[in-house]
Amino acid sequence: MNKTIYQFHKKVMATPMNWVEYNEYRDWELPYDGYNTKEGYLVEYLDGSKPNHPDHKGRIVWLPKEEFDAGYTAITDGNNKVPPSRIEDLLSKLEYKFARVDGTTVTACWSFLPNGFSVGYGESACVDAANYDQELGEKYALERCNRNLLGVHPDLVPIVEHAIHITRVDFTVIEGMRSIERQQKLVRSGASSTMNSRHLTGHAVDLAAWVDGRIDWSWPLYYQIADAMKCAAKKLNTPIEWGGDWKQFKDGPHFQLPWVSYPIETIRECG
């Protein structure tokens, strides 16, 4: 079966299956009710509900295609990756703000949801101020800003999205999936202590507090952001770790999916 994860008010896993196929799958005698081969989905709830079939961990039901399509949006494809259509939909709804950092050649870009919450940040710079070009600066800053949304694990994306709506401190996503080259640079600079970072596979995000139109690194703000992220993770029934809870090398902006729940084998599959 090609199982895809969707989300409405609950997260579910769905498999295309018509009414006849569903009854055969359940080993039921097919009732005559006019559905015949009506298209639809076998829907499995991922909310911890009691399973009603030996091959599933959650309760399963059948929904007609038009009803399902009207209420659910895919958050992964059949390979457990965020589908391009979802990323494109997110990007199409964002609004952007650009600014040149005073006294520098740095152009900054912030992305905002329609409700005003900042969800991305990127910047670009040139070496010589004489070569500064605002249009090019905004172009490259925008590319880096949107890159923060790409490659993040599909179980982590909904947590960030939900936390944005309940947090007492606005925040922005400053980094998601990270290249090996960037990780090496961070380790050399002392900004990271490992080459086994969850950022390398999209299983982590870094969030920055957004106060009065700028990033604020004050530690008390990150306790409040962590409260929102933990609350969102609990609501979505997905485990999460906060770098601020670590005993060594505390990292306030960092949130990741745990190694125990998402081991190295899973990382290789999800890529």
Q: What is the CATH number of the domain that holds 138?
A: 3.30.1380.10
- In this structure, are 161 and 252 located in the same domain? yes
Structural domain count, the chain: 2
Q: Which two tokens stand for residue 143?
A: 């590319």
Most confident range, picked from 12-26, 89-103, 239-253: 239-253
Q: Range of 95's domain?
A: 89-270
Instruction: Please tell me whether residue 31 adopts helix, strand or coil conformation.
Output: coil
CA distance 141 to 65: 41
Q: Is 82 within the bounds of a domain?
A: no
Q: Which of these, 204, 241, 207, lies nearest to 222 by C-alpha position?
A: 207
Q: Using alpha carbons only, what angle is made at residue 104 by residues 103 and 109, rounded to the nearest 5 degrees?
A: 115
Mean local confidence (pLDDT), 221-239: 94
- In this structure, are 152 and 250 located in the same domain? yes
- In this structure, are 171 and 220 located in the same domain? yes
Mean pLDDT of the residues in the chain: 79
Pairing mode of beta strands 4-7, 40-45: unpaired
- In this structure, are 240 and 201 located in the same domain? yes
pLDDT band at 269 (very low <50, low <70, confident <90, very high): very low
pLDDT band at 257 (very low <50, low <70, confident <90, very high): very high
pLDDT of residue 3: 63
Check pLDDT > 70 for residue 64.
yes
Q: Is 159 within the bounds of a domain?
A: yes
| Domain end marker among 45, 74, 103 | 74
| Domain end marker among 74, 101, 121 | 74
pLDDT of residue 78: 56
- In this structure, are 232 and 149 located in the same domain? yes
> CA of 184: how far to CAs of 77, 158, 179, 181, 188, in Å?
31, 29, 9, 5, 6
Q: Is 84 within the bounds of a domain?
A: no
Q: Which two tokens stand for residue 39?
A: 């298209």
Most confident range, picked from 52-56, 80-84, 133-137: 52-56
Mean local confidence (pLDDT), 261-268: 56
Residues 128-146: pLDDT tens digits?
A: 888 888 888 777 666 666 6
- In this structure, are 249 and 169 located in the same domain? yes
- In this structure, are 165 and 249 located in the same domain? yes
Q: Which two tokens stand for residue 38?
A: 């009506």
Alpha-helical regions (H) of the chain: 19-25, 65-71, 84-92, 134-147, 157-166, 180-189, 219-235, 264-270
Q: Is 81 within the bounds of a domain?
A: no
3-class SS shares of the chain: helix, strand, coil, % to 5: 35, 25, 45
Q: Is 166 within the bounds of a domain?
A: yes
How far is residue 158 CA from its own chain's centroid? 5
- In this structure, are 256 and 139 located in the same domain? yes
pLDDT of residue 149: 64
- In this structure, are 209 and 155 located in the same domain? yes
Q: Is 154 within the bounds of a domain?
A: yes
- In this structure, are 46 and 148 located in the same domain? no
pTM above 0.85, yes or no: no
| Domain end marker among 74, 103, 134 | 74
Beta bridge partners of 16: 41
Q: How far does the chain reach from its first CA to its final CA, in angstroms?
A: 21
Q: Which two tokens stand for residue 147?
A: 């890159």
- Look at 85 and 268; give whichever has higher pLDDT: 85
- In this structure, are 15 and 93 located in the same domain? no
Q: Is 135 within the bounds of a domain?
A: yes
- In this structure, are 208 and 123 located in the same domain? yes
Mean local confidence (pLDDT), 254-270: 68
CA distance 210 to 47: 32
Q: Is 43 within the bounds of a domain?
A: yes
Kindly tell me the sign of the dihedral angle through the C-alpha atoms of 131, 133, 139, 145: positive
